[in-house]
Amino acid sequence: MKFRQSLVLVVGFICLMAVSVFAQETQPQQEPQTPPPAPQSPDLDVQGIKTYLLGPGDVVDIRVFGQPDLSSTAQIDGDGNLSSLPFLEKPIKAKCRTDKEVQKDIAAAYSKLIKNPQVSVRIAERNSRQPATVFGGVRQPTRVEMKRKVRLNELMAVSGGFTERASGTIQILHTEPLMCPEPGEETEAAPIDGTKIPLQIVKISELRSGKPEANPVIRPGDYVLVTEAEPVYITGAVLSPGGVYLRDQLMLSRALAMVGGPRKEAKLSDVKVYRQIPGSANQEVIHVDVAAIRKNEKPDFLLQPYDVIEVTEANMFSSSRIATTLLGAVSGGLTGAISSTGATLPTRVIY
């Protein structure tokens, strides 16, 4: 009897353990909880910029929950309106407004047809802002699409910076008026007068020095030209003949230094500058006394684009070359005499 009771207790314990293990194995595993993503600021869109203001050419995708006949994709017309929405006779103003503001107006308009419409508006295409074009003396001429306000220094960085040909100025041509002006920008939103070219000129030196007025906001559609320097050419008795780029008021003495300077035999008292006569195929020859400029006896000479500077050599019997001429004559005569006789000079060593 006692043996039966012990056997029943053991069997019951084993069954209880089996049920417990089975329950643990069949219980679903709970995955570790991950913190919810941080909510995005309502003032930023997916690009991290301020809320985009709609304009002509932009395309929006409109969805009305449970009403497929009212859902559509529409483009903002030239007047800045959504004028082709299904069953709406009155256009919805969209220019210079956010997608959320347009969404509220569409919901209000459809509320006259259905009860409590649930409307969503999403920007499908952003076509209202034309890209700005950067070219000229930059390393990477490019077209830049701007979804926010972009200043000139950012545009230069995107274009790879300036080349060695950059002359020192940047020309900014506005092709379109400012579409959505902020307070104080009303004049920039006025239509562009065809008789007045809206051209702004900025100095590169002022942009680099951080002057606020030299770092303007670039509008969509702007043409930004980094002007390139025009060359002058230096030939004759200089160390490295060639062309140099003409930047802010390049003087003759500095241009000569840029090609390594004159050689010893150069005739600095009469440096010739060949300059094209405007409106003519002929050139004028200007004689410049660089030697007097170096002694501060005469003012330096201002170069113009495409000047050709010729540094001639002094006469072989002039005071600057007489020693070189005589040495060359003596060494040349001696070499000729030895070569004609076929003899060789003996070599002596003094210890």
Between 47 and 279, the higher pLDDT residue: 279
What is the residue-averaged pLDDT of the chain? 79
Q: Domain for residue 13, yes or no?
A: no
Q: Is 25 helix (H, G, I), strand (E, B) or coil?
A: helix
Asked whether residue 258 falls in the same domain as residue 278, the answer is yes
Asked whether residue 223 falls in the same domain as residue 235, the answer is no
The mean pLDDT value for 114-135 works out to 92
One-letter identity of residue 290: V
Between 195 and 246, the higher pLDDT residue: 246
Q: Domain for residue 338, yes or no?
A: no
DSSP string covering 188-257: GGSPPPTTS--EEEEEHHHHHHT-GGGSPEEPTT-EEEEEEPEEEEEEESBSS-EEEEE-TT-BHHHHHH
Q: Is 269 helix (H, G, I), strand (E, B) or coil?
A: coil
pLDDT at site 247: 77
pLDDT at site 35: 40
What's the predicted TM-score (pTM) here? Answer: 0.60
Percentage with pLDDT > 90 across the chain: 52
Are the C-beta atoms of residues 111 and 103 closer than 8 Å to each other?
no
pLDDT at site 204: 92
The mean pLDDT value for 151-173 works out to 92
pLDDT surpassing 50 at residue 42: no
Q: Which residue, of 180, 211, 228, is where some domain finishes?
A: 228
Containing domain of residue 71, as a range? 59-125
pLDDT at site 10: 43
Q: Is residue 327 very low, low, confident or very high in pLDDT (cuts 50, 70, 90)?
A: very low
Q: Compute how many other C-beta atoms are within 10 angstroms of the C-beta atom of residue 64.
A: 21
The mean pLDDT value for 95-111 works out to 93
The mean pLDDT value for 241-270 works out to 91
One-letter identity of residue 35: P
Q: Domain for residue 53, yes or no?
A: no
Between 171 and 333, the higher pLDDT residue: 171
Q: Which of 75-89, 96-110, 235-249, 326-340 has the lowest mean pLDDT?
A: 326-340
Q: Domain for residue 345, yes or no?
A: no
Angstrom CA distances, 304 to 24, 109, 280, 312, stand at 93, 68, 16, 20
Total number of domains in the chain: 3
Asked whether residue 138 falls in the same domain as residue 224, the answer is yes
Q: Domain for residue 199, yes or no?
A: yes
